[in-house]
Amino acid sequence: MARKQETISLIDTFTEFKELKNIDRTTMISVLEESFRNVIVKMFGTDENYDVIINPDKGDFEIWRNREIVEDDALEDPNLQIKLSDAKKIDEDYEVGEELTDEVYFADFGRRAILNLRQTLASKIMELQKDSLYAKYKDRIGQIVSGEVYQVWKKEFMLLDDEENELLLPKSEQIPSDFFRKNETVRAVVVKVENLNNNPKIVLSRTSNMFLQRLFELEVPEIHDGLITIKRIARIPGERAKVAVESYDERIDPVGACVGMKGSRIHGIVRELRNENIDVINYTNNITLFIQRALSPAKVSSIKINEEEKRAEVFLRPEEVSMAIGKGGMNIKLACMLTEYTIDVFRDVEIDGEDIYLDEFSDEIDVWIIEALKNIGCYTAKNVLALSREEIIERADLEESTVDQILEVLRSEFEEE
């Protein structure tokens, strides 16, 4: 009865092991066999003459011992050899020199061996679970995961995923206005996975730029499909963000696709980020134009770029300056983060009086030409007239005849005045 009970106990252990998630079949069989062999080595000094067969589907196992048949008076090691007289009790046909294989019942090894096996398995299982958890989340860095709030501490939240693995959301990675109750589901991005002393630590973030990017990928199919790319992101979590996007298909308006009809796509992202304001702009390699777009909704008059120092002097109408800077300096701060340029804002006093914005010449100058001039930092008539004919041709990449026509239109405007 005792042996039967111990066998049932072992089978229960294997059943538990078999039901563990994230541990593949091959690893499971290998660990079980290794655990058995460790116990056998401790008992007999070697496991070379044992065959351990694991049946994970049935939740049981078999152990077979191979021994050489020797004359009765030649027996030296009963673990490796068996007397001929004992062999013949099993089968009369056995002879000296042959190998006899018989099944060994682990329960016969005694309670200590069984306890040793269970402890070894428990330790191996714990180790495998930790390795599996680390490997799983190491591959998920940069991905959004969901977890249920399990514990709330002063400096962090502990979340549990759907397999009850522990995830940490530190205070520093929470949006300032985040407030979660126990059992509430939280979404965040995996930013760091550590494995200190074989104890995996999975850190999540809701303030990371990657979290915002992944939310866009979920909400905007064109981004998920690769038709639109998010080139840059600047964020002040919970307050405001600027996202620069680019389309590889001329038929797709990247900004319109990201915002959606009546803001349908971006509204979901804004709600997730605690009403964080999100500006979506078109990306461009032209730094002058990019800075202009980054300062939106302010309207820029002119820009002077210092590429070596990565600085930009931006001139605006007096009424546009406060809009460019934004509440608490937030708009210009985000523009600097997005463009990676230090932006200095100045009031453009000239524009108040005699100067004229190029947009007002759209009846006489094609819009694409006006855009080309804006791309080199010329937003007003006097900005253009301040440059030489050759400089305009070279920097704006326009035909000589086109530049001559532009200069004629602009000069005549001031001559008339």
Residue-wise pLDDT tens digits, 219-276: 999 999 999 999 999 999 999 999 999 998 889 999 999 999 989 999 999 999 999 9
Class of domain 147-205 (CATH, top level): mainly beta
DSSP collapsed to 3 states, the chain: CHHHHHHHHHHHHHHHHHCCCCCCHHHHHHHHHHHHHHHHHHHHCCCCCEEEEEECCCCEEEEEEEEEEECHHHCCCCCCEEEHHHHHHHCCCCCCCCEEEEEECHHHHCHHHHHHHHHHHHHHHHHHHHHHHHHHHHCCCCCEEEEEEEEECCCEEEEECCCCCEEEEEHHHCCCCCCCCCCCEEEEEEEEEEEECCEEEEEEECCCHHHHHHHHHHHCHHHHCCCEEEEEEEEECCCEEEEEEEECCCCCCHHHHHHCHHHHHHHHHHHHCCCCEEEEEECCCCHHHHHHHHCCCCCEEEEEEECCCCEEEEEECHHHHHHHHCHHHHHHHHHHHHHCCEEEEEECCHHHCCCCEHHHHCCCCCHHHHHHHHCCCECEHHHHHCCCHHHHHHHHCCCHHHHHHHHHHHHHHHHHC
130 pLDDT above the threshold of 70: yes
Class of domain 211-283 (CATH, top level): alpha beta
- In CATH, the number for domain 2-133 is 3.30.1480.10
Fold of domain 354-416:
DNA polymerase; domain 1 (1.10.150)
- The structural domains of the chain, with segments of one domain joined by +, span 2-133, 147-205, 211-283, 354-416
The model carries a pTM of 0.67
Lowest-confidence segment of 117-121, 321-325, 336-340 by average pLDDT: 117-121
Q: What is the pLDDT of residues 288-317, one digit of tens each?
A: 999 999 999 998 888 889 999 999 999 887
**Residue 3 binned pLDDT confidence (cut-offs 50, 70, 90):** very low
